Structure formats: structure tokens, C-alpha cells
A and B are shown apart, each in its own frame.
Chain A
Amino acid sequence: MAAPASTDKGDFVNNLRKIYGIYTGGFFGFVIILAIAEQLGVPNQYIGYAFVCLTIVVYAFIGIVTRTTQVSEYYVAGRKVPAFYNGMATGADWMSAASFVGMAGTLFLLGYDGLAFVLGWTGGFVLVALFVAPYLRKFGAYTVPDFLSARFGGNFARFLGVVVLAACSFTYVTAQIYGTGLIAQRFLGMDFQIAVYVGLLGILLCSMLGGMRAVTWTQVAQYIVLIVAYLTPVVILSTQKFGLPFPQLTYGSAIQEITALEQSMIQQGLATAASLKPHIQPFTSYSPLNYFGLILCLMVGTASLPHVLMRYFTTPSVREARVSVAWSLFFIFLLYFTAPAYAAFSKLEVYNLISNGGAGTAFAVLPDWIETYSKLNLVNIHGISLQTFYDVINVVKGGAVDTAGVAAQLKATGAETAGGFAAMKEPAKAAMLEAARANVGSSPDQIWDAFRTAVLPAVAQAAGNTKGLLLHSALAINPDVIVLSTPEIAGMPYVIAGLVAAGGLAAALSTADGLLLAIANALSHDVYYKMIDPKAPASRRLIVARVLLVIVAVAAAYTASTKPADILAMVAWAFSLAAAGLFPVLVMGIWWKRANSLGAVMGMILGFGITLTYLVVTRYYPQFGIEYLGMYANLKPSDFTPVVDIAKIQADAAVWNVSPVPASHPLAGKVGWFNVNNISSALFGMPLGFLSIIVFSMLTPRPSQAMYDFLDKVRRPRGGTILEEKDTVVA
């Protein structure tokens, strides 16, 4: 029965160009039909639903058509994926909701310093190709721990590999499911909890029946959607503004204008030199050490994250694995070199709004896009948003009579605006309450007008803004808004916004698929098959793989539905954990024959251990770090003074004796060693990992001659994979 399955596959692989050509054409046709539908008066909400539902149905269709009953198809797509298409699949696998939605916003906020993410998330692929991927492909692994086990003699190294893999992938996949929930909530007005489980369904339909094979071909489809969605709005914007459809070239002019506006806003008193970080000036948010440290951690993390490495197990040859890394980076590059253009155009738009030709903008004439996003609490002015006002109106309806009552009720209902309201000055609270009383039962337009004309001026005055104008320092924009709002700010039809939502979903779903498969495969192949039941027949292995996939997916969706506070910050941790726990052992395992089992085991334990400890202590138990580990306050990059006064906090028992500390605590993530931010914690773990491998290997006997011969085989492309898998066909 193997024969029909493989010819079937052969036909599919031979016709890839035609299949994806038709698919891409069909997608454009679909966008055009929806654009026409919008002109004919179909409501926005239906267009949004059409985008999301149809794309998910297509992914699910691909997932079901490419289902498989062969073990090698399930784990490595039969090693038949050509370099070019594997590059696209890797692009979708790699670029997450954070890249699609968050990257441009980070660049908007941080300016030059945000480019650490652009560099870190691209340059790592050079390390992937130089040190790791071709060799693992030659070895013929199904999972990364497979290699650790073969090279370092047994299941203990394999087990440690699984631990590191699970630690860096689980929070990551949870964040992707969280991302699908947020996008569906913002664009479709879906309830967050429901949206999370809809996302889960989309992910499972793509991955469960076909494993790697299905995920590969849906990821290619998802890449096409996400790149079209990312480029379209900014290309239109560039054409409108500069007459050239290449935003990557034209945003140089935007940068010049931004720099000029930065100076004029300060001169006009609309911004202060203290609060404004010049867009092109380096090292305003990160010290040079942290900037370069972050780049290094992200790059090395890239080269050791299992869901990326396993994509290169699917190419037909070692040669194609290398070419495929180049294609991967090319496809990723298309998005990442566009992100700074998004940031620059948005920043120009916002600065033009604040400056308004030098006159400044009065609150009464704030544009409607601020209404849209402030209503979602994503744009705050002087610490409050339109959502704050809506929440206050609601509790007034619910019977709150004075400002203390409003504050108490907001807190009791768990409103996310409760903190913002509590922090307002008393006269501002009173003004808001009065306006809320007057607008119980008003239309959204009336409420927005009341917010602009009555609430904001009072709040501004209480905050010491005597000009009554929108000030740079008072405006806080959530980074996620930048990409999502660009179509609306530029006045494009809603169909473009729907397209962007579909792109964001594609980015989140594709990354979630890859991560889920990485975790579930490690559990089913490494833990179940290799460690628990090595005699399991292929049919049972596939059933176990699918059951574990569903369990991990449901666990991740459940975790996401509880809205864990730190989930997005923890994604950045995954890079440091992988960089410290896996990179040294993979590189030394391939490049240094003398490395032995004890060295590898100690390298993983110590490298991963210190990184995890540093992350957990600095974020959750800073007091422990200060008292027992010799940590001290990090320094500001501007003048190298401490960011927090530890002695002062120590004196205040109510603040000091909190453990573990919440994200809002003054010490959370603000202490450490040598002024290293916790996001760059692999700066400790990675060198320690390499050092441990060297020291412990040298102290113990060298590996056997057989191992040296094994490595010679891993290092030369000729001669097929080393690891032979029994590939029984079960259907």
C-alpha cells in the first residue's frame, strides 16, 4: 500500500507550482469579490467573518487532503519537500503573531533599539545553516532529541532535550493561541474565550491527521496569505504618499520628516526632550550591552528552537536543506525589512497629528481612528481611554453614585480600566463621573463627543496639561495597533483591514501548528516510543502521536483562555532558554568529536539551569536575587543611574514583602547581574553551557572510535541518512 500513497504524493509534489499558483490566484479573486461586496453595501462584520472563515476552511481542507498513515510522512513529510516550498513553510512557521502584529509596533515605540529584534530574528538563520540544520538532516532525525540520544549515548540526554524543548515551546504555543483569540476579538467582535477555541479547532484540523506533511502544505498556504496581507496596506500607503509602491525605499523621506517633527514638537512645547526618544538615535531604551546581547540571544535561539530545526528534516537532501535555509530567510526578510516602513509611516502620521503644522491638536478634533482603538483600551491619553469612559458609564448605570463608588465597582467587576481610573486625579474623576451621568443612554457618537469635549480637557488639566492640546508625552499607543490600524488611518476600504486580520491569523495559526507538532512529536516519538514502549507498532505510534497532539493543544488553549498576564513576555524567554539549553550541545555534538555524554549532560543542565534561574528570579523573586545571589538594580541606558532605588523599596515592607512579585511591581525584571536584562539571560547560560561541555568532556574518557566514525558520516552529505526508521505502512 506504500506505492499508491507515494505516487499520490509524487503527483502532488510535481504539481506544486500549479497548485499554489491557482491557490494564490484564487485568494486574490476572493479579495476582489469581497471588495466589490463591500462597495455594494455588505456590512463590514460579514466581510471580516468571510475572510476568517474561508481562510480557515481552506487550511483545514489542505490539512485533511494531506492526511497520512505513514510514520515518516507524519514526522518529516516523507522528506520530499523542495527547498523553495520548505522556505515558505519555514517563513510561516517562524513568523508568529508577534512578528506580524507586534514587530512594527515595537519599532514604533523603540525606534533604532527595536531593530535588535529585526536583526536577531533574521541573522540567526546563518547559524542554522552553518552549524546545525544540514547535519541533523544528514543524520536523519525525526526530532532534535533523536540526535542528542544517538550522539550522547542514550535516553538521559534525550530526556533533557525533551525538557528544554517543552520549556521553550509550550509558552510559545500558548501565546500563539492567545494571539488568535485577540485578533478574532478585535476584528470580529468575537468573545475571547470562544475565539481561542475556534483557533484551536483551526490548528487541530491542520495538524492532527497529517502531522508534518499536512502542516507543511498548510504553512505554505498560510505564508502566501500572511505576506500578501502584510505588504498590501503599506504598499498602498507608499503609493499614495510618495507615488512609489516600494515602502522599503520611500520611508527614508518619512524618517527625515519624523526627525524634523521631533525637533519642532519640542520647540513648540508639545513634547519634552525627556519623554521623546528620537527615532534614529541608538541606545535610548537598551544599553549597548543589552542591545547586542539581545541580538545574540535571539540569533542563537533561532538556531536552536526545535520547531524551526525540524522543518529542515523534511527536505529531500542535505544540499536542499542548505538552499532551503536561504529561501527561508528570503521569505522572512520580505516581512522584516518592511516592518520598519510600517513603523515610520505610522509615527509620521501620529507626529503630524500632534504637531498639526505647529498649532497642535485640540482634544475636540481628535480623529476617528483614536475612537476605534481607544474604545478597545489600546490608545490611552493621560492614562485613560474611551473604554475607561464606557466602563464608568456602565457602573453609573449599575448604581454607582460617587467617584469612590465608581472605583470600587470597576475593581469589583474586574475591568481592565480600573487601575487607570484609580490613578486619576480627583477633579478629573469628578468630571468623568459628571459626563458619564449625562451620557447614560447616549449613542456611541455622542459618547465619543463627550469624551473629546468634556472628559479629556478636564483630565488633561488635572494632569497639568495647561495647553489643552494633545501632547506627545500624554499619548500612549499599544504597539499592536500599528499594523492593525494602518488601513483605517490611511482611509482604506474595510476589505484591506479584513485582509490584515486574515494575515495575522495565518501567522498565529502556522506558528502554533509548528510548535504543537514539535512538542507532541517529542512526547510521542522520544518519550513514548523511544523510552516507554520501543516495540510499539507503527499504527499505535501514530495513534499516540495524535492523542498527545490533541492533549497538548487543549492544554495550551485552556492556558491561553485564562489570559495569563505574562504570556507575551515569556515568548521572548523561549529564545534564551533554547540558546542556553540546546545550542551548545548541538554545535559541540557536531563540531567537536571529543565531546562526550557527561559533558553534554552537564552542559545542558548548567546552561539551561542558570538561564531559567536568572529569568525566574529576576522576574518573580527579585528580593531573593538581591539578598542571596548578589543581584543589584539595572541601569538606565541614558545616564547609567539605577532604574530603581532598592534601599528605598527595602524600607517599605508592604512593597518589599511581596512574593512572587506581579509584573507591575517596581522590582519585577529590574534587577540582575552586570546590568543584563532578563530577556538576554542566555548571555550567562550559553557560555556556561559551552564551558561545561568542554571541561566535563576533558575530565572524562573520549568517545569511542565508533562515535568518531559516526560523526564522519554525519559531516559528509554523501550516503543517505544514518538513522534508519522502520516505516511500516498501516492503512
Chain B
Amino acid sequence: MQENVERHWSATRGLMFVMLFLWLFFSFGIHFFVKELNEIVIGGFPLGFYMAAQGSLIAFVIILAMFASSQDGIDRKYGMAEDE
């Protein structure tokens, strides 16, 4: 049981770090290069501007959906999920 608790938590923590990395990338990392990205224009949008106005926001929504389903998968795998 205790071993299972630890494995569940280490999987949870691992997922957290992956998601945290994605969050860091879309919150900060990609915007460090805004000037370079602005050279690329798609549909009238300079890419650097677009990422801050829409791209990162879409990424956040996807990250959250991925996180909810992956964490649920981890909970089920280690028998830690709630009863339906």
C-alpha cells in the first residue's frame, strides 16, 4: 500500500514537471523571441504578436485538458481514483 502511494505520487510529480515545463515555455520561453517571430507573418498576424494574443492561450487550454485526463489516468492506474 505505502509503496503504491509513493509510486502514485512520483508519477503525479513527474506529470506536474512535464506540465510545468510546457507552462513555462508558453508563458515565457516563446515570448523571449517575440522580435524574431514577428518577422514571420501569417494571415496578417506577426507570429510573435499572435503567440501572445492567441497562441499561448490556446496552448494553456490544451495543457489543462491534457493534464486533467493524464492525471486521471495516473489515479486509475494506481487505484487512487475516486469511485464513479
Which residues in A have some Cβ–Cβ distance to B below 8 Å?
112, 115, 118-119, 122-123, 125-127, 129-131, 134, 248-249, 251-256, 280, 282, 292, 295-296, 299, 317-319, 322-323, 325-326, 329-330, 333, 336-337, 340, 712, 715-719
CB distance from B27 to the nearest CB of A (A): 5
Find chain A residues with CB under 8 A from B68 CB: 129, 319, 322-323, 325-326
Residue among B31, B53, B81 facing the most chain A CB atoms (10 A cut-off): B53
Interface pair B45/A712, CB less than 8 Å apart? no
Interface pair B48/A255, CB less than 8 Å apart? no
Distance, CA A319 to CA B12, complexed state (A): 14
Distance, CA A326 to CA B65, complexed state (A): 6
8 A Cβ contacts from B26-84 to A: 26-28, 31, 34-35, 38, 41-46, 48-50, 52-54, 56-58, 60-61, 63-65, 67-68, 71-72, 75, 79-83
Find chain A residues with CB under 8 A from B65 CB: 326
Interface pair A252/B52, CB less than 8 Å apart? no
Interface pair B82/A125, CB less than 8 Å apart? no
Interface pair A252/B43, CB less than 8 Å apart? yes
Interface pair A123/B26, CB less than 8 Å apart? yes
Find chain B residues with CB under 8 A from A112 CB: 34, 48-49, 52
- Selected contact of A319 from candidates B45, B46, B48, B82, CB within 8 Å: B82
How many residues of B are counted as interface, with CB atoms below 8 angstroms from the partner's CB atoms? 45
Find chain B residues with CB under 8 A from A340 CB: 53-54
- Selected contact of B57 from candidates A122, A130, A256, CB within 8 Å: A122
CB distance from A332 to the nearest CB of B (A): 9
CB distance from A346 to the nearest CB of B (A): 15
Which residues in B have some Cβ–Cβ distance to A below 8 Å?
5, 8-9, 12, 16, 19-20, 23, 26-28, 31, 34-35, 38, 41-46, 48-50, 52-54, 56-58, 60-61, 63-65, 67-68, 71-72, 75, 79-83
Known: A255-B44, A323-B68. A126 touches B49 (CB 8 A): no
Known: A322-B71, A337-B54, A716-B80. A329 touches B61 (CB 8 A): yes
Interface pair B34/A126, CB less than 8 Å apart? no
Interface pairs (7), CB distance under 8 Å: A112-B49, A119-B31, A122-B56, A248-B54, A319-B82, A337-B54, A716-B8
Interface pair A280/B49, CB less than 8 Å apart? yes
CB distance from B18 to the nearest CB of A (A): 10
CB distance from B49 to the nearest CB of A (A): 5
Find chain A residues with CB under 8 A from B5 CB: 712, 716
Distance, CA A487 to CA B5, complexed state (A): 57
Known: A322-B71, A325-B68, A716-B5. A252 touches B45 (CB 8 A): yes
Interface pair A129/B44, CB less than 8 Å apart? no
Q: Considering only CB atoms, which chain A residue lies closest to B79 in the complex?
A: A718
Distance, CA A122 to CA B62, complexed state (A): 12
CB distance from A286 to the nearest CB of B (A): 12
- Further 13 A-B residue pairs, CB within 8 A, beyond A326-B64, A329-B64, A712-B5: A118-B53, A119-B57, A122-B56, A125-B64, A126-B19, A126-B67, A130-B67, A249-B43, A253-B44, A280-B38, A326-B67, A712-B9, A718-B82
- Selected contact of A125 from candidates B38, B60, B71, B75, CB within 8 Å: B60
Distance, CA A134 to CA B64, complexed state (A): 13
- 4 closest A-B pairs (Cβ-Cβ)? A252-B44, A326-B64, A115-B52, A322-B68
Distance, CA A718 to CA B1, complexed state (A): 13
Find chain B residues with CB under 8 A from A718 CB: 75, 79-83
Decide if the interface of chain B is mainly helix, strand, loop or mixed.
helix
Known: A326-B65, A716-B80. A337 touches B23 (CB 8 A): no
Interface pair A255/B45, CB less than 8 Å apart? yes
Find chain A residues with CB under 8 A from B71 CB: 134, 322
- Selected contact of A717 from candidates B19, B26, B80, CB within 8 Å: B80
Interface pair A329/B60, CB less than 8 Å apart? yes
Distance, CA A608 to CA B73, complexed state (A): 37
CB distance from B22 to the nearest CB of A (A): 8
Distance, CA A160 to CA B58, complexed state (A): 36
Interface pair A123/B60, CB less than 8 Å apart? yes
- Selected contact of A256 from candidates B44, B60, B64, CB within 8 Å: B44
Known: A115-B53, A326-B65, A337-B54. A130 touches B16 (CB 8 A): yes
CB distance from A59 to the nearest CB of B (A): 28
Find chain A residues with CB under 8 A from B16 CB: 130-131
Find chain A residues with CB under 8 A from B27 CB: 119, 123, 295-296, 299
Find chain A residues with CB under 8 A from B56 CB: 119, 122-123
Distance, CA A260 to CA B35, complexed state (A): 18
Find chain A residues with CB under 8 A from B50 CB: 252
Find chain B residues with CB under 8 A from A134 CB: 71
Distance, CA A98 to CA B30, complexed state (A): 27
Interface pair A119/B43, CB less than 8 Å apart? no
Q: Considering only CB atoms, which chain A residue lies closest to B50 in the complex?
A: A252
Find chain B residues with CB under 8 A from A131 CB: 16
Find chain B residues with CB under 8 A from A115 CB: 49, 52-53
CB distance from A590 to the nearest CB of B (A): 11
Find chain A residues with CB under 8 A from B83 CB: 718
Find chain A residues with CB under 8 A from B20 CB: 130
CB distance from B50 to the nearest CB of A (A): 8
Interface pair B53/A337, CB less than 8 Å apart? yes
Find chain A residues with CB under 8 A from B57 CB: 118-119, 122, 333, 336-337
Q: Considering only CB atoms, which chain A residue lies closest to B27 in the complex?
A: A123
Interface pair B19/A130, CB less than 8 Å apart? yes
Distance, CA A325 to CA B83, complexed state (A): 20
Find chain A residues with CB under 8 A from B12 CB: 715
CB distance from B41 to the nearest CB of A (A): 8
Known: A322-B68, A717-B81. A255 touches B9 (CB 8 A): no
Q: Considering only CB atoms, which chain B residue lies closest to A255 in the complex?
A: B44
CB distance from A648 to the nearest CB of B (A): 34
Distance, CA A252 to CA B42, complexed state (A): 8
CB distance from B5 to the nearest CB of A (A): 6
Known: A112-B49, A716-B8, A717-B81. A126 touches B54 (CB 8 A): no
Distance, CA A664 to CA B41, complexed state (A): 41
Residue among A126, A292, A323 facing the most chain B CB atoms (10 A cut-off): A126
- Selected contact of B75 from candidates A129, A253, A717, CB within 8 Å: A717
CB distance from B31 to the nearest CB of A (A): 7
- Selected contact of B67 from candidates A129, A251, A333, CB within 8 Å: A129
- Selected contact of B72 from candidates A130, A299, A319, CB within 8 Å: A319
Q: Considering only CB atoms, which chain B residue lies closest to A131 in the complex?
A: B16
Distance, CA A330 to CA B46, complexed state (A): 24
Interface pair B35/A282, CB less than 8 Å apart? yes
Q: Considering only CB atoms, which chain B residue lies closest to A343 in the complex?
A: B53
Interface pair B28/A295, CB less than 8 Å apart? yes
